[in-house]
Amino acid sequence: MELMIGIGMCVALALMVVFAPLLSAHEPDVNVLENRLQPLGTAGHWLGTDHIGRDIWSRLLAGLVWSSSAAVSATFISLTIGAVLGLSAAGIDGWPRTTIRWFTDTVIAFPGLIVAVCVIAIIGQGWLPMVLTLGFLGWPVFARVTYAEALSLMQRSYVTNARLQGVGRWSILGGHLLPGILPTLLAMTAFNCADMLIAESALSFLGIGAPLGAPTWGNMLAEARQYLLREPWLVFAPGIAIVIVVVAANLLGDGLTQRFRQKGPAPLL
C-alpha cells in the first residue's frame, strides 16, 4: 500500500513539474503591488498573493520545479560517487580500500550544513553550486551501504564461481555485485531525495542557496517570516508543499524497502 501511494504521489508531482507552465496563469516573478497580500480564494489568485503581489500558486509550482530538480540532481551525484567508491573499496584490497574508507569517514565527520554554508559562500549562490555541494556531501552514506552490501554478496557462491572461471575483478563488481545492490540503492535514493529537498530549502531559507527572490520554497518561507501572525498562509503554503514532497519520497522509499525485503535475498547458485 505504501509503495502504491508513494508511486502515485511521485507521479502526480512529476506531472506537475512537467506541466507547471500550463497549470498557472501567472508568472512567478511578476509582482503587482496593488494586489499584495490577497487572501485565499481571491479571483485569479486562488491561493492568494504574497507581500509584493506575486501569485502564491505560481511560486509554489516554480518552487517545485526548482527544489525537485535540485534534490534529484544532487541525489544522482551522491549515488554515482558513492556507488563507484563503495564498489571499488569492496573489490580492491590494501591501501585503496583503506584510503576510500578514510576519505568517507572524513567527509562524514564534518557537519554537512556548515560545510555547505562555507562552500557556497566561497563559490557563490545558484542552482548548480548548491547541487554540486549537496551532491558531494551526500555520497558517503551510499558508499558505506554499497561497500557493506558488496562484501556480503562477495561471499555468495555465484561470485566465487565467477572468480574461479577467470572473470575479471571489474566485471564481477559491475556484472555480479552491482545488480544485487541496486534494490537497496533504489530505496535509499528515494529517502535521499527527501533529505536533499529539506537541505535545499534550509539553505535557501538561510539566504545562501537560491538567489534572493528566486521562486523556491526556502525563499518563500524566509520572505514570509515577518507576516507569520498577520498572514500565516504565506508560511503554511510552502511548508505544506515541502511536507507533501518529503512524505511522498519517504512512502516510496518505505514501499520499495518492504517490497525488496519480501522478495528476500537472491538464491545461492
**Mean pLDDT of successive 10-residue segments in the chain (269 residues)?**
90 93 83 78 80 88 92 95 90 85 88 83 85 92 91 77 72 79 91 94 87 86 87 90 96 89 51
pLDDT of residue 264: 53
Determine contact, residues 64/50, Cβ cutoff 8 Å.
no
pLDDT of residue 250: 95
What does the angle CA 104 – CA 84 – CA 177 come to, to the nearest 5 degrees? 115
Q: In whole angstroms, give the CA distance from residue 55 to residue 185.
A: 38
Q: Which amino acid is at 268?
A: L
CA distance 204 to 244: 18
pLDDT at site 42: 77
Closest CA relative to residue 38, chosen from 238, 251, 234: 234
Cβ–Cβ < 8 Å for 70, 200: yes
Q: At 68, which amino acid appears?
A: S
Residue ranges per structural domain of the chain: 48-263
Per CATH, the number for 48-263 is: 1.10.3720.10
pLDDT of residue 238: 93
Measured distance CA(149)–CA(135) in Å, rounded = 22
